[in-house]
């Protein structure tokens, strides 16, 4: 059984490595890890009985939380009397993470300790692949005037946001478990820089707002003794990146122009930012039309060219939302499953956020550091989720389900260890 437990931890630790370079990698890791965790629970049922759930309220919350996406799909389908198994492809990934979470917590495995060393490795592998295969990008041939970088199965939005997320995690993981030596610091720091570089290289602005927010949290909560030099370094990095990167300049200036030129009561041309604003307005309108059941993925066609939508959105914009979703995690799910999708998607961000923020004020400094790393990851995922779907693609759902599981289980283990220490000291 010990070997099986080590096997489970090994699978989780290597899960980020080929996330963006090998199609099916992270989904295979999730399915294998879940099967292994279920086997461990069944093989040692006495030791791993679910009695321990009674004594940990937060664990109960997360077990229920991971089941909510599937429940939301089922309730929406039941209201419409329209059942389709494919709708469960992505939501089921969180359900598969439940046995993994139970095994990690019951065995007090802090899988995050080795995991932070593979995150920079994942970024370096991705950088090597896109450097050696610059023309092997997702989608149609690139516009030479606006080059964008990705890999063969990952769209530019997801590629940019995940590299930025992993890069910031590299930064937040420095000195996470005691003081790292200089070699490890350089390794993680380089992972941060390359992650940001790949995000900019993708040309995708998805998640960029998370960069200043997470850096602010890092300076405020981790760099208390070096706030001024850390702040100066951040400002120099931001200024230098903008000055030397033509892509960064063009994408930010374009975003500003698209926001300023958006019309609230007139038709808007198709632009990246303008379409997202129109998508959000369309989603709110469609939600009001069927708030309890939603429309699934195929029930929106009857609203194409509706007068309320024609007021500001071209037919092409409306059809794009029908084909590709609303480029917003919460909006897409509230249209798909009504209020159940809205509650489920919101809870996937809100409940972990409350737990991570609460953990920032734990007595243990170690717990505080892990909580900041987890919160930084969540901020990146949430910001990205406001301009693209983050849990609706199968491979991203698999990755986020695994990462949520690792962060949550690590914090639960440290909270439980601190409580045990307090009880021992009191006796």
Contact in structure between 170 and 124 (CB atoms under 8 Å): no
Q: Tokens 């993680």, residue?
A: 188
Q: How confident is the model at residue 427 (pLDDT cuts 50, 70, 90)?
A: very low
| Residue 46, pLDDT score | 60
| Residue 147, pLDDT score | 59
pLDDT digits (tens, 9 = 90+) for 5-63: 899 999 999 999 999 999 999 999 999 999 999 999 888 766 555 565 666 889 999 99
| Residue 234, pLDDT score | 74
């Amino acid at each position: 059984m010990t070997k099986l437990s080590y096997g489970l931890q090994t699978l989780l630790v290597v899960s980020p490595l080929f996330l963006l370079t090998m199609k099916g990698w992270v989904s295979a890791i999730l399915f294998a890890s879940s099967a292994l965790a279920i086997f461990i629970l069944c093989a040692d049922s006495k030791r791993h009985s679910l009695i321990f759930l009674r004594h940990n309220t937060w664990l109960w919350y997360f077990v229920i939380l991971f089941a909510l996406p599937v429940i939301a799909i089922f309730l929406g389908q039941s209201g419409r009397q329209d059942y389709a198994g494919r709708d469960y492809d992505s939501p089921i990934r969180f359900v598969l993470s439940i046995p993994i979470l139970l095994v990690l917590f019951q065995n007090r495995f802090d899988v995050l300790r080795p995991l932070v060393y593979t995150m920079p490795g994942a970024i370096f592998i991705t950088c090597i692949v896109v450097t050696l295969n610059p023309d092997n990008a997702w989608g149609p041939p690139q516009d030479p005037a606006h080059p964008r970088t990705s890999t063969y199965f990952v769209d530019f939005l997801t590629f940019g946001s995940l590299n930025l997320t992993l890069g910031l995690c590299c930064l937040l993981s420095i000195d996470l478990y005691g003081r790292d030596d200089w070699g490890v610091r350089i390794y993680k720091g380089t992972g941060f820089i390359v992650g940001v570089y790949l995000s900019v290289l993708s040309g995708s602005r998805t998640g960029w707002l998370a960069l200043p927010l997470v850096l602010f949290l890092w300076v405020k909560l981790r760099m208390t003794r070096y706030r001024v030099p850390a702040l100066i370094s951040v400002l120099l990095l931001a200024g230098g990146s903008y000055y030397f990167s033509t892509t960064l300049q063009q994408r930010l200036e374009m975003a500003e122009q698209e926001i300023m030129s958006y019309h609230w009561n007139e038709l808007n041309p198709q632009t990246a930012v303008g379409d997202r604003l129109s998508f959000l307005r369309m989603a709110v309108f469609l939600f009001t039309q069927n708030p309890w059941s939603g429309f699934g993925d195929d029930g929106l066609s009857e609203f194409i060219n509706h007068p309320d939508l024609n007021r500001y959105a071209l037919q092409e914009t409306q059809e794009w939302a029908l084909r590709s979703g609303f480029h917003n995690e919460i909006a897409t799910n509230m249209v798909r499953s009504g209020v159940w999708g809205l509650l489920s998607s919101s809870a996937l961000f809100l409940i972990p956020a409350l737990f991570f923020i609460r953990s920032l004020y734990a007595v243990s400094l170690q717990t505080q550091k892990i909580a900041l790393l987890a919160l930084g990851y969540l901020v990146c995922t949430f910001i990205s989720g406001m301009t693209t779907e983050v849990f609706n693609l199968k491979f991203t759902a698999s990755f986020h389900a695994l990462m949520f599981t690792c962060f949550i289980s690590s914090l639960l283990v440290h909270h439980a260890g601190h409580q045990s220490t307090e009880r021992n000291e009191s006796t």
